[in-house]
Amino acid sequence: MTELKNDRYLKALLREPVDFTPVWMMRQAGRYLPEYKETRLQAGDFMSLCRNADLACEVTLQPLRRYALDAAILFSDILTVPDAMGLGLSFGAGEGPKFAHPIQNQRMIDNLPIPDPEQELQYVMNAVRTIRRELKGEVPLIGFSGSPWTLATYMVEGGSSKSFTKIKKMMYCEPHLLHKLLDKLADAVILYLNAQIKAGAQAVMIFDTWGGVLGFRQYPDFSLQYMHKIVEGLIRQNESRQVPVTLFTKGGGLWLEAIADTGCDAVGLDWTVNLADARMRIGHKVALQGNMDPSVLYAGADYIRREVKSILADFGEGSGHVFNLGHGIHQDVPTEHPKIFVDAVHEYSRQYHTAR
């Protein structure tokens, strides 16, 4: 494999010294970029774009051509695993994801296959291999998956939801069924992420987008324990380097200590958490990723820079911080604003690092 030229992101996740704070953006390859829209049009639809390794590689690299980002993230979708389980995933024009065969009973759960990553999900592994080759060692590549709980919400609800009534009804009325589904999903995600690592992903991240909709007592049982299982099952060493694992629960500020105790290397934070408080609570155990409100990128240059300075000051001196947004970048953000953000992180963070 090509030698990695910029490994600040990997070093920061392992809390090793860096010369400045690395930065990338969730959803950095996406529809806020006009070149992405052109490539998606070329593909025909979203899943066709995901399944074409060359086009998935192209959109992965597009933000790196505009901005001095310290990592690339695989262009794919969190719903590839349930799609490979045969639930009939589709994306309607202007609509969110929908499943033709949502999970409704034990028989459907029992009949769910665990996909072979190099068979049913080979298109994802082909994309990973293609991206690694085309990155030429400029920055590391992040692989990812949805968490079992988050995947289950879509599979039971049949798509996006605001109230999550179907899966919560299952959770409270038939918890044994939901645990069976979550356990099967955890097994599938372990295989999926390990295959991404073998194909060339140098770090992995688990997106628990909907963990924050769970109650205080329900989150450990129905979300966290399955992410813990995944962390324990992952390949942690590849290509003579450690493979860092980041867990991100949107709305997860209540459970930071428990998340850090899973054995992960880093915890992602949304913008509702104060970074100084998070560092005091868990920063001695794990690295922290985050956590600027994505909507700040609507603001002018001066405001963006002030917010970057404030967040850097909240974390303070030393390594162990990967700067990011608290969730994905919005699709109508002006394309010049992420450059202001990324450049500000690099410029203003140097004073907090002694590595040169």
Instruction: Determine which one of 19, 45, 77, 187 is catalytic.
Output: 77
Distance CA 87, CA 85 (A): 6
Is the distance from CB of 257 to CB of 282 less than 8 angstroms? yes
Asked about 77 being catalytic, the answer comes back as yes
**Looking at the chain, how many residues does it have?**
356
Tell whether 283 is in a known binding site: no
| DSSP assignment string, 251-289 | T-GGGHHHHHTTS-SEEE--TTS-HHHHHHHHTTTSEEE
Tell whether 153 is in a known binding site: no
**Strands of 72-73's sheet in order across:** 72-73, 141-146, 203-208, 245-249, 266-268, 287-292, 321-325
Asked about 129 being catalytic, the answer comes back as no
- For the chain, the first-to-last Cα distance in angstroms comes to 26
Tell whether 228 is in a known binding site: no
Tell whether 152 is in a known binding site: no
Instruction: Determine which one of 19, 40, 236, 277 is catalytic.
Output: 40
Tell whether 165 is in a known binding site: no
Distance CA 156, CA 30 (A): 27
- Between strands 241-242 and 237-238, the pairing is antiparallel
Structure letter (DSSP) for residue 5: S
* SS3 category, 156: helix
Asked about 8 being catalytic, the answer comes back as no
Asked about 348 being catalytic, the answer comes back as no
Instruction: Determine which one of 32, 36, 67, 154 is catalytic.
Output: 154
Tell whether 31 is in a known binding site: yes
Asked about 31 being catalytic, the answer comes back as yes
Tell whether 30 is in a known binding site: yes
- Catalytic positions, please? 27, 31, 40, 77, 154
Residue numbers in the known binding site for substrate are: 27-31, 77, 154, 209, 327
